[in-house]
């Protein structure tokens, strides 16, 4: 359907399928929200220290709790991705920025709500989820002032 919504995708991180991941071409960071971090059965001891703030949240510097490197599976490709873990509320579970897009060598299309990338097997593509986008808007509308919960994390076979 024609739309101008954000590009929201699903990825596999370690053994989990995670929905509501924002692809943000204007950001260089890969962000994992703390509630998602906990749902992945990770502990604070798994975090490595980070000593630099993020300046794009709330128009003030936010210091991440730490960083962690995890395997991200996209189709037939697997990459190690370093995430900054932040303890903030968000309707998204993660944010994947332009450095991840560059590492994946993808061609994103916000118009078509998909991105394509080259693999050894040919061109693969990942479609954005308009349903996830609509769910996000509904959730944000209903839970404006409440802390948003992480949803849709399942263990892959």
Residue 153, domain member (yes or no): no
Residue 2, domain member (yes or no): no
Q: Among 73, 91, 82, 81, which residue's Cα sits nearest to residue 142?
A: 91
pLDDT of residue 122: 86
Q: What is the CATH number of the domain that holds 33?
A: 2.40.70.10
Q: Give dist(CA 137, CA 117) in Å, integer.
A: 28
Rounded to two decimals, the pTM is: 0.77
The listed range with the strongest mean pLDDT (6-20, 52-66, 113-127) is 6-20
Residue 101, domain member (yes or no): yes
Q: How many domains does the chain have?
A: 1
What average pLDDT score do residues 54-73 get?
Answer: 85
Q: Is the pLDDT of residue 7 over 50?
A: yes
Query: Which residues face 62 on adjacent strands?
Result: 54
Residue 30, domain member (yes or no): yes
User: What are the angstrom distances between the C-alpha of 41 and each of 15, 48, 57, 105, 155?
Assistant: 11, 16, 25, 30, 11
Give residue 17's domain range.
8-148
Q: Is the pLDDT of residue 147 over 60?
A: no
Q: What is the pLDDT of residues 66-95, one digit of tens each?
A: 999 999 998 888 999 999 999 988 889 999
Q: How many other β-carbons are positioned within 10 Å of the β-carbon of residue 149?
A: 11
Of 44-48, 71-75, 101-105, 147-151, the poorest mean pLDDT is in 147-151
Give the DSSP letter of residue 59.
Answer: T
Mean pLDDT estimate for the chain: 81
User: What are the angstrom distances between the C-alpha of 73 and each of 12, 32, 55, 108, 153?
Assistant: 5, 16, 28, 17, 14
Residue 88, domain member (yes or no): yes
């Amino acid at each position: 359907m024609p739309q101008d919504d954000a590009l929201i995708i699903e990825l596999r991180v370690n053994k989990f399928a995670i929905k509501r991941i924002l692809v943000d071409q204007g950001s260089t960071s890969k962000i994992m929200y703390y509630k998602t971090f906990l749902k992945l059965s990770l502990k604070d001891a798994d975090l490595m220290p980070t000593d630099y703030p993020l300046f794009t949240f709330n128009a003030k510097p936010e210091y991440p709790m730490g960083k962690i490197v995890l395997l991200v599976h996209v189709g037939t490709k697997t990459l190690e991705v370093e995430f900054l873990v932040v303890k903030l509320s968000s309707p998204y579970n993660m944010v994947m920025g332009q450095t991840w897009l560059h590492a994946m060598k993808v061609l994103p299309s916000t118009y078509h709500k998909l991105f394509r990338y080259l693999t050894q097997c040919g061109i693969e593509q990942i479609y954005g989820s308009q349903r996830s986008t609509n769910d996000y808007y509904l959730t944000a509308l209903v839970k404006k002032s409440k802390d948003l919960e992480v949803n849709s994390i399942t263990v892959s076979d």
